[in-house]
Structure 1
Amino acid sequence: MNLQVREVINIITKPVGIIPDTVDMLLFGSDNQSVDNIGVAFMPTYENIRKCVEMDINLLVCHEGVFYSHSTDVPLNGSSIIVEKQRLIEKSGISIFRLHDYIHNYKPDLIMKGLIRSLCWEDNILEHKATSSVLQLPKITLNEIITYIKNKLNLPYLHFIGDLTMEISKVGLLVGFRGGGANAIPLFEEDGADLVIYGEGPEWETPEYVRDAMALGKQKAVIILGHRESEEPGMKLFAKELQTIFPDTPVNFLVSNAHIHLY
Structure 2
Amino acid sequence: MRIRDIINLLESQGEWVNRSCTRDRILFGDDQTEVNKVITCWVATNKVIRYAIEHDIHFIISHENPFYLASTSLPTLIYKAQKEKEALLKEHDITIYRCHDLWDVYPEYGIRDSWAKTLDLDFEDSHNHSYYRYTHDINMSVEECAHHIINKIKPYHQQGIEIIGDQTVMK
- Sort the TM-score into its range (normalised by shorter chain): 0.7 to 0.9
For the 8 Å contact 2:105–2:113, the answer to whether it is kept is no
Letter in 1 for 2:145: I
1:158 equivalenced with 2:156 (yes/no): no
Q: What is the DSSP-based 3-state SS (H/G/I as helix, E as strand, rest coil) of the residue aligned with 2:97?
A: strand
1:142 equivalenced with 2:104 (yes/no): no
| Partner residue in 1 for 2:21 | 21
For the 8 Å contact 1:142–1:163, the answer to whether it is kept is yes
CA RMSD of aligned residues (A): 2.8
For the 8 Å contact 1:64–1:70, the answer to whether it is kept is no
**What's the CA shift for 1:96?**
0.9
The number of aligned residues is 161
Note the residue ranges of structure 2 that are not aligned, 5 or more in a row. none
Q: After superposition, what is the alpha-carbon deviation per residue over 1:109-145, rounded to whole angstroms, capped at 9, x for unaligned?
A: 9221121121123xx2224252322113541222221
Which structure shows the higher strand fraction?
1
Q: What is the DSSP-based 3-state SS (H/G/I as helix, E as strand, rest coil) of the residue aligned with 1:133?
A: coil
Structure 2: distance between partners of 1:42 and 1:156 = 16
Residues 126-135 or 142-151, more deviating:
126-135
**What's the CA shift for 1:70?**
7.5
Structure 2: distance between partners of 1:158 and 1:80 = 30
2:2 to 4, 7, 14: 4
Change in Cα spacing, 1:137 to 1:55, as seen in structure 2 (3 Å) is: farther
Structure 2: distance between partners of 1:131 and 1:48 = 27
Letter in 2 for 1:96: I
Structure 2: distance between partners of 1:16 and 1:85 = 29
Structure 1: distance between partners of 2:94 and 2:21 = 25
Structure 1: distance between partners of 2:49 and 2:9 = 23
| Partner residue in 2 for 1:39 | 39
Note the residue ranges of structure 1 that are not aligned, 5 or more in a row. 169-263
Q: What is the DSSP-based 3-state SS (H/G/I as helix, E as strand, rest coil) of the residue aligned with 1:64?
A: coil
> Structure 1 length as normaliser, TM-score?
0.53
For the 8 Å contact 2:116–2:133, the answer to whether it is kept is no
Q: What is the DSSP-based 3-state SS (H/G/I as helix, E as strand, rest coil) of the residue aligned with 2:19?
A: coil
Letter in 1 for 2:86: Q
Q: After superposition, what is the alpha-carbon deviation per residue over 1:40-73, rounded to whole angstroms, capped at 9, x for unaligned?
A: 11112222212221232221000122321389xx
Structure 1: distance between partners of 2:21 and 2:168 = 45
Identity %: 25
> Structure 2 length as normaliser, TM-score?
0.78
For the 8 Å contact 1:65–1:98, the answer to whether it is kept is yes
For the 8 Å contact 2:143–2:168, the answer to whether it is kept is yes
1:167 equivalenced with 2:170 (yes/no): yes
| Partner residue in 2 for 1:100 | 100
Change in Cα spacing, 1:120 to 1:55, as seen in structure 2 (3 Å) is: farther
Structure 1: distance between partners of 2:142 and 2:32 = 51
Change in Cα spacing, 1:70 to 1:63, as seen in structure 2 (3 Å) is: farther
For the 8 Å contact 1:62–1:96, the answer to whether it is kept is yes
For the 8 Å contact 2:28–2:86, the answer to whether it is kept is no
